[in-house]
Structure 1
Amino acid sequence: MRITQDQLIKWFQEYYQSYGVVPALNKVRDKSISCPVIHNTIVRKFGSWNNALKAAGLPLFVKPILAKEVVCCNCGEVFYKQRHRLQEGKPDFCSNSCAATYKNCHKNQGTRRSKLEDWLEEQLLKLYPELEIHFNRKDAINAELDIYIPSLNLAFELNGIFHYEPIYGAEKLASIQNNDKRKFQACLEKGIELAFINCSQQKKFKKYTSQKYLHIITSIINSKVSEEA
């Protein structure tokens, strides 16, 4: 349905009034509307209004005629999503934060795994076909563990250089290290032995340089199996 300039003016008058603002929306010579929040801004398209609203700290304006009422798959909040952004069969999220939280909680495999992790998974499944081994899952401690063997209460974290050096700044490094500490504490509370493996020396994946990490993991697994026997 085509939206007329008068409809747009009326909708925005109602919208601003609901937030305690009484603007004077006047059509100007070039059929644009002068923004009542950022007075020196002239907007010509619907999207430009939302940019002005965002800059002013007001919620974005979306009318049902342009959007469909949907429910956020993560938090359950009801919100309007523009119709051209709706994708059949895909979940809807009210924010990027909700989308990231949902995807992290519902994934069975890590989406940003290293070649080392892929190779280690392949080798461990060949070496221990009788063991149930989980890779990059969150079901044990509600946080992702790189490798987890439930029957042995044993887990491994493969820590690259980002866990030891401030590649993206001191604040990011502190956040990563705090996350490692939380994982260790969560495993401790669940009776899971967590081993951190320092992989920071491997700058580029090579099978021959990866053998030492595989040897560390298999040595610990074999030791635990012997204890259980």
Structure 2
Amino acid sequence: MKNRKLSTSGVLVWSFFILIGSLIVYIGYRSTLSESVHNRSPITNQVARAVSVNAVPNTGTAGENELLQSETEDRPNINQEDQETQKELMLVYGENNNEKVWGLKDAPCPVNGNVLRGIGNYYSESFGDYHFHAGVDYAVLEGTVIRATQGGKVTFSGLDPLLGQKVTLDCGEGWSVTYGGLDNLRVKVGETVEAHDALGQVGLYPGAEGVSDQPQLHYELWHENEIQRPEHN
């Protein structure tokens, strides 16, 4: 009987110690879990700050960053410079930015008369010999006012042995125009005339004799010392 009481007391003592031990273990576990949660929050904040820093990198000091910003602001705008250059070229050369190219279309026949004689060798009864005819003769009424088909500088204005009174214009770019068989010349050497300015009136000239006794205009067109055939209207 005495032994049974001692056994029951031992069981109670061991049960008490087991309960106390379990309680200690539980309290320790709760304490560890709380510390783990507390430490995890700063780590999360550090990770967030790291992501923020990587999104906007800053590889230099404050002074270096200010210098980089200043250089970026002072860097010239290439597109703006190109636009300004184009505007300057337009003022110099015009809107098309291309120099005018002179051609046959810029020196058409100045009259609508019939062609009496073209370019080639012809016998002159007045001189009793063959002469090279470098232009085209057009039949027109005597006294018809002849106007420049293209502007230029007057390089000759006076009497020619074969063409009578004539006017020669230097139109630039190697082009020159001669109007022969005129009378009452209205321009002088050295003057600059514009297109449609009056040069003189149709008369008679020695080279026309033997071909037709009617008044006619002699028209020559040259480019770089080569004869050109003018475009007829």
TM-score, normalised via structure 2 length: 0.21
Larger radius of gyration: 2
Answer 1 or 2: which has greater helix percent: 1
Answer 1 or 2: which has greater strand percent: 2
Q: Looking at both structures, which has the greater relative contact order when contacts are Cα pairs under 8 Å and sequence separation is at least 6?
A: 2
